[in-house]
Structure 1
Amino acid sequence: MEDTEPQNAAANGITPRRTNIKSVEILDTTLREGEQFSRAHFSFPQKIEIATALARFGVDYIEVGSPVSYPNALEELTTMVSQLKKRNSNSKVLVHCRVNQEDVDMALETGAYGINLFMGTSKFLQKASHGKSVEEVSKLACNMVEYVHSKGRFARFGAEDAFRTDLKDLLYICAALDEAGVDQVDFPDTVGGATPFEVYDRILEFTKRFRFKVEFHGHNDTGCGVANALAAMEAGAHCINVTVMGIGERNGICSLSGLVSRLYSLDRELVKQYNLVELPKLDKMVATILGVPIPHDMPITAPNAFTHKAGIHTKAILQDSQAYEVLRPEDFGIRRTLDIASRITGKHAIAARVRELELELEDADIAIITEKVRHAAGLEPISLENVDLIIKSHKPSSAGKED
């Protein structure tokens, strides 16, 4: 029966829905996870600039670091929360905290919407980090969730290294947290070693069994950050962690641009609540602050993300942009470009440039110019200015003919 509806839809000329995802919330952790990127050292004015830009884009949550992470952290976090409230931001600020009442009390002082508690749950972290048993972790987490709730705040718990934690241990902790009324539980792929199939299977266990909302935080050590985020959402995860350009510890995590492009390509309704034209500005801002280029393969915001070069591509794009684009650049405030200054350019691209220059040339002239451009670009790299010079210096074959 499950296959009947898609088959009938296809038979009736209706495109079947490509995803089971109904909605998603984005938690941006550039100001926490992102600060763990080796090149990151944000000044306080830069943090305010980033937080304000994230709020303009409309992320659902902005996660910030612990108030005990450096000497004036509490003062900075309190000011940031206050400034975002003054701007009537809809983005909710969450403070990242150890399961420690002293830390939590300081985090509550900031006025933030909620507290993101975390503690290692795998055997690796039980041994190398805190030295506590699963039972002890569970009791500490539940007590602190109840404490945060007693202060009227949102309480989330992060099971650090969830995908290397025995499933029975995670289920034990989650059952206790569910009973304690935790709002959300984060399942991080802390070392980035999980496959999309493992993420889907494990996240499905939690979305089927428990009442709390499920969150996913996926590192990119093996290049699966976005793919694993998609798997988590398909399994019912409600909230996904991202950073601008995917920056973070080691190889970072799922990027904001990557997540948005993935969701947009499946169903634009999933990202309609976000101000998409702010996304390229965000990536450019953070790249400038860090002194690094936007990666050449970053979805949406890479310098050549919407540049078409091959002749067969440019011909099709001029007819219908969907021929070689799954994303609409104009929805992100970006213009597509045709790279016609190459040895693989095509006559349709050259003809389009001739029209842009408000010139009129016969098809035979376009063909000649195309070959001239290909020849010149084959000898050495050329620019659009070189192409324009070739076009303008060409003597039309109709020149000198009698009327």
Structure 2
Amino acid sequence: MNAGHSAEQRTSAPPFLAGENPAQERYHEASELFALLDYLKALGFGVFSIRESLQAVGERIDGTLQGFHLSADEARQCIAYMDSLGVGVVELPAYPANRYGQALNHTLLAEARAAGLAIEFAAHARCVEGDIRAAWEAGFRRVHLYIGTSKIKQATARKTIEQIAATAARSIVFARGLGFSSVRISTEDAFRTTLDDYEAFYTHLAGALDAAGVQVEGIGIPDTVGLSTLRELGDRIAVLRRVGLPFQFLECHIHNDIGNADRTYVDTLMLCMRLGITMLPDFSILGIGERNGTIGLSSLLESIYRRLIVLYPRKMPQIRQAMREKLGTLPSGELFVNRYRDMDAFFYRIMARTGFVFDRSPFSANTEFDGSGVHADTTMRAFLLAQSEGMDGQDAVDQGNSAYAGALPPYDMPLRTPVLACFGCGKSNVRYWRERSGLALRPEPELRAHVNDLDDLEDFDASQPLTESAIDELIAQLIRCYSIKQNGISHQDAMELVGMFYAPIDETVPVAASAAWPD
């Protein structure tokens, strides 16, 4: 596997090391760091995740909190930049219940193919048939599947690791049956899953796939709080080898909660280069994403540069020139480094247009408001589960935080507060805001009337009991839908959608307790 990455390529000395002592450890480290540039170029640099970028949560200039949005034209320009730089894969979200998002995916893929772009597109999808089918119908032929395997996911899904692995296997078989040419499977957070559960999951999965006669191309090893160590990564690679699950590439997805993602990405890439494993880093627009996101391409390349400077501080001009020459000239004749500089400038202009203020520090004043629907929901589920098991007070809070926010001190974030992040909005966000505002469901005739008047509903059973849980999910779906249709909506717009179905308690009729569904 990866025969093109030979030992000779990995150890050839870069030009700035001429005259330096080859017996020094820093000489060998610098050689390997410089070789990463060839390694990354050969692998198409990795996966640029528009999906990750869209789930950014931050403060607007007007003080409201919401997600980051791209217009169709901006998405096309992002894709054009990535293609021109030689990036191999752009990842977009699957939109099983959003006609506007689904139409945008279909258009972006069709236009890219008509333009002859070489870039591949991957749909980010749950191990759910609706997600996978929507990805196929939009034109994707590569799908990145994910499923939760941590203790909290097992508890809240009420499934064992073996049952979760069976769900993943069925999804992979279904994707293969549709005709996807590349399938990646990922545990939702490899480092929040115990090593025993990680091995059990992949053991069961390998057996199920072998029995079905199918394989996956890729394995995702995500770290959604940026706490993993190189040793822990090695443990998980060893598990994959031990269970005998074949794969062609690994993909790493590392958030930057504690500001460590740059170094972790580089360490991860160097380890995989030594092992002859194809590792695709997952990066986003300027390193934004839900909470503190995955790094940007420029951050990854600059991280290599900074580490080389630390090793040879007196060689800064030579290192800079060597990197520029190694990254080379694009087919257009433009220097690679100039093209990605212009790309970052384009990204900053988008942020300026949207009035989006993103502070990548996990200890900023905005920390208490940080979070997205999925992450907030998992944190709260872990907290409630801890309480059901007899934990109380700070112990229960700490357990809740550990589900996703283990990187942050408890005093900074007692429990993750969900914000209306538009594209990333979930029903936990809606529940938080209507409870905070003291709202209750409107009378059922009003609810039915509003539901019947909506034109943008997909996959919603209007005949079901209109409980708080059902309405919260409906509102979250509408927020996600309109955030695509209108290229982002404000927090106030989202709250107006909440107000269609909820009102101050003194304006509503009490809802019978028997109507409520458990989450």
Q: Same fold (TM over 0.5)?
A: yes
Task: State which of 239, 255, 260 in structure 2 corresponds to 1:219.
Answer: 255
The structural deviation recorded for 1:58 is 2.0
- The equivalent of 1:67 in structure 2 is 95
Note the 1:47-86 alignment, pairs <5 A.
Answer: 47-68=75-96, 70-86=98-114
The structural deviation recorded for 1:162 is 0.7
- The equivalent of 1:101 in structure 2 is 129
- Contact 2:224/2:254 (<8 A) preserved: yes
- Contact 2:50/2:285 (<8 A) preserved: no
| Residues 38-47 or 81-90, more deviating | 38-47
Note the 1:113-262 alignment, pairs <5 A.
Answer: 113-128=141-156, 130-153=157-180, 154-175=182-203, 176-177=205-206, 179=210, 180-203=214-237, 205-206=239-240, 210-212=245-247, 213-236=249-272, 238-262=279-303
Residue-by-residue CA offset, 1:165-207 (whole Å, 9 max, x unaligned) = 1112222333424744111010110122223443344345536
- Contact 1:260/1:271 (<8 A) preserved: no
Cα distance, 1:131–1:294 mapped onto 2, change above 3 Å: closer
- The equivalent of 1:324 in structure 2 is none
SS of equivalent to 2:339: helix
Q: Distance in 2 between matches of 1:174 and 1:239?
A: 20
SS of equivalent to 1:10: coil
The structural deviation recorded for 1:90 is 1.5
SS of equivalent to 1:164: coil
Q: Distance in 1 between matches of 2:113 and 2:186?
A: 26
Residue-by-residue CA offset, 1:77-96 (whole Å, 9 max, x unaligned) = 01000111122112110001
Q: Distance in 1 between matches of 2:224 and 2:129?
A: 24
| Residues 165-174 or 21-30, more deviating | 21-30
- The equivalent of 1:344 in structure 2 is none
SS of equivalent to 1:185: strand
Paired amino acid for 1:67: Y
Paired amino acid for 1:187: I
The structural deviation recorded for 1:11 is 5.4
Q: Distance in 1 between matches of 2:143 and 2:339?
A: 27
The structural deviation recorded for 1:35 is 0.3
Cα distance, 1:296–1:284 mapped onto 2, change above 3 Å: farther
SS of equivalent to 1:53: helix
Cα distance, 1:34–1:270 mapped onto 2, change above 3 Å: farther
Cα distance, 1:220–1:79 mapped onto 2, change above 3 Å: same
The structural deviation recorded for 1:151 is 2.9
Paired amino acid for 1:228: T
- The equivalent of 2:338 in structure 1 is 277
- The equivalent of 1:10 in structure 2 is 22
Q: Distance in 2 between matches of 1:78 and 1:56?
A: 21
Task: Pick 1 or 2: higher relative contact order, CA cutoff 8 A, min separation 6.
Answer: 2
SS of equivalent to 2:179: coil
- Contact 2:288/2:360 (<8 A) preserved: no
Cα distance, 1:181–1:30 mapped onto 2, change above 3 Å: closer
Residue-by-residue CA offset, 1:245-303 (whole Å, 9 max, x unaligned) = 11100011122112123456769598569743321122111121122589999xxxxxx
SS of equivalent to 1:169: helix
Paired amino acid for 1:243: S
Q: Distance in 1 between matches of 2:145 and 2:102?
A: 17
Q: Distance in 2 between matches of 1:254 and 1:222?
A: 12
SS of equivalent to 1:64: strand
Paired amino acid for 1:221: D
The structural deviation recorded for 1:133 is 2.0
- The equivalent of 1:37 in structure 2 is 56
SS of equivalent to 2:69: coil
Paired amino acid for 1:10: P
Q: Distance in 2 between matches of 1:37 and 1:46?
A: 16
Q: Distance in 2 between matches of 1:120 and 1:273?
A: 42
SS of equivalent to 1:49: helix
Cα distance, 1:285–1:228 mapped onto 2, change above 3 Å: same
SS of equivalent to 1:249: coil
TM-score normalized by structure 2?
0.50
- Contact 1:192/1:221 (<8 A) preserved: yes
- The equivalent of 1:317 in structure 2 is none
Paired amino acid for 2:144: N
Task: State which of 19, 23, 42 in structure 1 corresponds to 2:39.
Answer: 23
Cα distance, 1:10–1:250 mapped onto 2, change above 3 Å: same
Residue-by-residue CA offset, 1:349-389 (whole Å, 9 max, x unaligned) = xxxxxxxxxxxxxxxxxxxxxxxxxxxxxxxxxxxxxxxxx
The structural deviation recorded for 1:145 is 1.5
Q: Distance in 1 between matches of 2:69 and 2:169?
A: 34
SS of equivalent to 2:51: coil
Paired amino acid for 1:96: H
Paired amino acid for 1:252: G
Q: Distance in 2 between matches of 1:155 and 1:65?
A: 15
| Residues 198-207 or 79-88, more deviating | 198-207
SS of equivalent to 2:117: coil
Cα distance, 1:44–1:98 mapped onto 2, change above 3 Å: same
Q: Which has the higher helix share?
A: 2
Task: Name the larger-Rg structure.
Answer: 1
- The equivalent of 1:349 in structure 2 is none
The percentage of counterpart residues that share the same residue type is 23
TM-score normalized by structure 1?
0.64
- Gaps of at least 5 residues in structure 1 are 298-403
